[in-house]
Structure 1
């Protein structure tokens, strides 16, 4: 079991975070943004930044080269659609994408938007961790959580079209 700290500071014990999310045992803030045959997209459960999306495989695998041809096509298609929706409905002009193979659960990509306020914490990829920690520790107020839920709703509606 792993202990996961959610954006609101609560902790949950899970074997596999992605399985818990896909199976509905943990409800991501605002619900599922979009789901395909092979992937599940949701607002990151740990960091309350509007538009910070996690795109995770539904099956257990760790690496891009383990995706089947159908999964690869599904992955790039939904990743592109989410990115377009981030730009079109949230006005997000820049995104950092992170995917790592030392994860303890499913293959997933973080789509971390860059907002103007983040530049106070740095301008490069090295600023991402301080940005995430700032969001978790300083942005858990109701006003920000409301903007996170609004962003989730806007993305979800756009992706249904």
Structure 2
């Protein structure tokens, strides 16, 4: 079991955070944004940035090449729909996508919208880590969390 601190201050003990999220055992702040046959979409619980989306496999796999053909199609379709909704709802023109295989969670892709305020940290992929840390350390207040949740609801409405 792992002990994980959520953005709302709660601490949970789970074997796998992704299993807990995709099964509904843990409901992330703002709830589920989009759910497909093979994927679950939610806000990253640690970084309160409007529209920062995690697209996670429901199946317990870690690598892109482990996806079935059906899952690959579901993945790219969901990814494209989410990006279109981010453009429409958030008005963002750039999104950083991250996927890594050395995670303790399921296969997942981070979709990090690029906002004007983020440019003070730089304009490259190297700036994303400082942006995420800034959000976690300085934007994790009730007002910003409420704004993040409103955006999540808007995205969910657009996607469903």
Give me the whole-angstrom Cα distance separating, in 1, the residues matched to 2:65 and 2:112.
Answer: 23
Query: CA offsets per residue over residues 92-120 of structure 1, 9 Å max, x none?
Result: 11100000011112100000111111111
- CA-to-partner distance for each residue in 1:11-42, whole Å, 9 max, x for gaps? 32211011100122211111000000000000
C-alpha contact 2:3 2:11 (8 A) present in aligned 1: yes
Q: CA offsets, 1:126-146, max 9 Å, x none? A: 111111111111111122111
Superposition pairs of residues 1-161 of structure 1, within 5 angstroms = 1-160=1-160
1:48-94 CA-partner distances (Å, limit 9, x unpaired): 00000000000011111110010000000000000000001111111
Give the Cα separation in 2 of the matches to 1:8 and 1:122.
29
- Which structure 2 segments of 5+ residues have no match? none
RMSD of equivalent CA atoms: 1.1
Contact 2:8/2:29 (CA < 8 Å) preserved in 1? no
**Count of residue correspondences:** 160
Q: Distance in 2 between matches of 1:27 and 1:86?
A: 21
Is the 1:82–1:159 Cα contact (8 Å) retained in structure 2?
yes
Q: Which runs of 5+ in 1 are unaligned?
A: none
2 CA distance for matches of 1:44 and 1:18? 11
Matches of 1:11 and 1:93, distance apart in 2? 35
Q: Distance in 2 between matches of 1:74 and 1:40?
A: 11
Q: Secondary structure at the match of 2:33?
A: strand
Cα distance in 1 for partners of 2:146, 2:40 equals 22
Q: TM-score, normalised by structure 2?
A: 0.96
Asked whether the 8 Å contact 2:2–2:14 carries over to 1, the reply is yes
SS in 2 for 1:32: coil
